[in-house]
């Protein structure tokens, strides 16, 4: 009959109290495991959100650099330019085909002769698959707010057809091929389709698609980016598009490279005068549009960082609370237990047990209960940490979503981090230490009582 055996028997005798202690300790342990794991998940989500936002800001900065020398003019699907494809689509009325004018070869020649113009690239941009517009009220796509106001009209069938010059690369326009190949100059009967559109059509490289009565073979798939609209594009060679829409030698959009920022401003002013019904997007406007979205993204970044800090603070508070509660509960249970067993302590001392031996007995009992509670809590914590952390920690993902970055919301929702063995061990030791502290004080106090006083206790 040793100390450990006796401790087990004593614990087992007080089943109800042991049960309460085990539950309290297990809860504390589970919280201590779940909170850091949940925190890691939230951090991973927030970091992913932050990286995504920072990536966007960085790519915008590049665009701002490049764009300062570019002027774009367009008829029809206006607003489609490298800088603002996602952010300013003022009105769907511009999709009306009836009012579309074109840039002629002469227009290109005139623009080319403007001072400061380095080169002019024309291309064709058309919208296909438009639904019946009678019930549609013009709305806006504004990515910054995270709000789509599409009214009742279903735009899921809408896509764009771009006739592009294939002998030059225009940032934001020339497709990035992810399978198959790109288009050759003036290639006819072939098309590159963006990934999103290809998926929605359930078509791949080698398949055919008829547009405006022309059968086209898909030779390549390009990566999709940006909003739903701009990710649904069929790329044709410029010649093919011009032929398809019966606009040989004409373009709907002009992309004008200039030699300086001030030239870009002058050229855009002159072009506005030259093409009064076209939309001429100046670099200043696009930079402003980009800056506005950058600000929105920076706000989103701040929000993510703030949520991260809030989560960290909550986690710290809850972890400390769990530890304090554990030691408090163990302390209460031990104080109660020791008081109830004061007479037993008196008997032990009468039999010759030293104060140290008495303390050891109670400490061992406290630690045994704590140990078992820790094991139960560890199992619960490892299995149920997502639910526990969700319950206890503020959600990081919703804050990111408020910033309006949909990709981030998706990323955050799928990031999950399992509890690390190191964290489990730390939690185990911390709770065990609290158990020891909670046990040792009442036992030490009781061991100081004179045997005769302890024996008088009923």
10 binds other proteins per the rule CB under 8 A: yes
455 binds other proteins per the rule CB under 8 A: yes
What is the C-alpha to C-alpha distance for residues 141 and 149, in angstroms, rounded to an integer? Answer: 7
What separation, in Å, do the N-terminal and C-terminal C-alpha atoms of the chain show?
Answer: 26
The piece of 96-104, 242-250, 308-316, 444-452 that touches other proteins (CB under 8 A) is 444-452
The piece of 5-13, 142-150, 286-294, 392-400 that touches other proteins (CB under 8 A) is 5-13
In this chain, which of 13, 106, 273, 277 binds other proteins, going by CB under 8 A?
Answer: 13
**Residue 199 half-sphere exposure, CB side, CA atoms within 13 Å?**
10
What is the C-alpha to C-alpha distance for residues 299 and 131, in angstroms, rounded to an integer? Answer: 36
Tokens of 197: 């559109």
The residues in 284-343 that bind other proteins, with binding defined as CB under 8 A, are: 343
H/E run at residue 293: helix 283-340
CB-based contacts of 95, cutoff 8 Å, min separation 6:
76, 77, 127, 130
Tokens of 112: 């080319």
The residues in 342-401 that bind other proteins, with binding defined as CB under 8 A, are: 343-344, 346-355, 357
The piece of 7-15, 182-190, 374-382, 412-420 that touches other proteins (CB under 8 A) is 7-15
Tokens of 288: 């402003």
445 binds other proteins per the rule CB under 8 A: no
Residue closer to other proteins by CB (options 305, 355) is 355
Tokens of 392: 């206890």
Residue closer to other proteins by CB (options 1, 273) is 1
Residue closer to other proteins by CB (options 5, 276) is 5
In this chain, which of 1, 16, 213, 276 binds other proteins, going by CB under 8 A?
Answer: 1
Phi, psi of 157 (to 5 degrees): -95, -5
Residue closer to other proteins by CB (options 12, 16) is 12
451 binds other proteins per the rule CB under 8 A: yes
CB-based contacts of 403, cutoff 8 Å, min separation 6:
49, 53, 146, 296, 297, 299, 300, 301, 303, 304
Least Cβ distance, residue 432 to other proteins (angstroms): 24
Residue closer to other proteins by CB (options 16, 134) is 16
**Beta bridge partner(s), residue 234:** 161, 193
Cα–Cα nearest to 363, from 1, 3, 47: 3
H/E run at residue 218: strand 214-222
Least Cβ distance, residue 439 to other proteins (angstroms): 18
421 binds other proteins per the rule CB under 8 A: no
In this chain, which of 320, 324, 425, 452 binds other proteins, going by CB under 8 A?
Answer: 452
The piece of 8-16, 115-123, 137-145, 174-182 that touches other proteins (CB under 8 A) is 8-16
What is the C-alpha to C-alpha distance for residues 380 and 385, in angstroms, rounded to an integer? Answer: 8
Least Cβ distance, residue 440 to other proteins (angstroms): 18
**Please, what is the angle between helix 355-392 and helix 342-350, to 10°?**
150
Residue closer to other proteins by CB (options 445, 450) is 450
Residue count at the site for other proteins (CB under 8 A)?
26
The piece of 2-10, 17-25, 407-415, 433-441 that touches other proteins (CB under 8 A) is 2-10
Look-up of token digits 């009012």: 99
Contact 159, 232 (CB under 8 A): yes
Least Cβ distance, residue 358 to other proteins (angstroms): 10
Residue closer to other proteins by CB (options 13, 277) is 13
Residue closer to other proteins by CB (options 53, 440) is 440
Least Cβ distance, residue 389 to other proteins (angstroms): 40
Least Cβ distance, residue 349 to other proteins (angstroms): 7
Residue closer to other proteins by CB (options 5, 246) is 5
Look-up of token digits 């055996």: 5
Cα–Cα nearest to 27, from 377, 282, 309, 367: 377
**Beta bridge partner(s), residue 214:** 211
Least Cβ distance, residue 453 to other proteins (angstroms): 8
4 binds other proteins per the rule CB under 8 A: no
Residue closer to other proteins by CB (options 264, 454) is 454
Phi, psi of 416 (to 5 degrees): -145, 135
Contact 41, 413 (CB under 8 A): no
Look-up of token digits 């074109």: 102
In this chain, which of 3, 133, 387, 391 binds other proteins, going by CB under 8 A?
Answer: 3
Residue closer to other proteins by CB (options 3, 309) is 3
List residues near other proteins by CB under 8 A. Answer: 1-3, 6, 9-10, 12-13, 343-344, 346-355, 357, 450-453, 455
């Amino acid at each position: 009959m040793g100390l450990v055996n006796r401790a087990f028997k004593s614990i087992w005798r007080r089943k109800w109290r042991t049960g309460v202690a085990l539950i309290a300790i297990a809860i504390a342990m589970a919280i201590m495991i779940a909170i850091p794991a949940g925190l890691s998940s939230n951090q991973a989500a927030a970091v992913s959100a932050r990286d995504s936002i920072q990536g966007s800001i960085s790519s915008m900065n590049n665009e701002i650099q490049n764009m300062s020398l570019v002027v774009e003019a367009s008829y029809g699907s206006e607003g489609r330019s490298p800088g603002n494809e996602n952010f300013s689509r003022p009105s769907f009325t511009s999709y009306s085909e009836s009012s579309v004018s074109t840039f002629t070869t002469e227009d290109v020649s005139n623009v080319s002769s403007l001072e400061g113009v380095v080169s002019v690239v024309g291309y064709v941009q058309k919208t296909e698959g438009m639904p019946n517009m009678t019930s549609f009220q013009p709305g806006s796509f504004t990515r910054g707010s995270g709000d789509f106001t599409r009214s009742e009209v279903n735009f899921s069938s809408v896509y764009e057809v771009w006739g592009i010059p294939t002998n030059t690369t225009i940032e934001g326009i020339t497709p990035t091929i992810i399978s198959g190949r790109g288009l050759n100059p003036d290639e006819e009967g072939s098309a590159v389709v963006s990934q999103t559109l290809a998926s929605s059509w359930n078509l791949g490289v080698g398949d055919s698609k008829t547009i405006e009565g022309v059968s086209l073979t898909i030779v390549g798939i390009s990566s999709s980016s940006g909003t739903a609209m701009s990710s649904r594009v069929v790329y044709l060679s410029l010649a093919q598009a011009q032929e398809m829409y019966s606009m040989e030698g004409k373009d709907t959009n002009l992309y004008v490279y200039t030699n300086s920022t001030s030239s870009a401003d002058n050229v855009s002013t002159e072009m506005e005068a030259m093409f009064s019904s076209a939309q001429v997007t100046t670099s200043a406007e696009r930079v402003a549009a980009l800056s506005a979205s950058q600000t929105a993204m920076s706000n989103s970044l701040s929000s993510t960082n703030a949520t991260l800090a809030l989560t960290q603070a909550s986690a710290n508070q809850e972890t400390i609370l769990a530890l304090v509660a554990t030691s408090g509960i163990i302390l209460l249970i031990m104080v109660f237990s020791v008081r109830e067993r004061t007479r037993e302590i008196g008997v032990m001392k009468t039999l010759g047990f030293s104060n140290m031996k008495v303390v050891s007995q109670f400490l061992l009992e406290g630690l045994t209960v704590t140990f078992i509670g820790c094991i139960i809590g560890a199992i619960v914590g490892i299995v149920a940490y997502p639910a526990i952390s969700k319950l206890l920690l503020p959600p990081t993902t919703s804050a990111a979503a408020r910033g309006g970055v949909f990709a981030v919301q998706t990323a955050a929702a799928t990031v999950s981090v399992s509890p690390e063995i190191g964290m489990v061990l730390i939690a185990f030791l911390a709770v065990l230490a609290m158990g020891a502290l909670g046990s040792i004080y009442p036992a030490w106090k009781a061991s100081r009582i004179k045997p005769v006083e302890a024996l008088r206790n009923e």
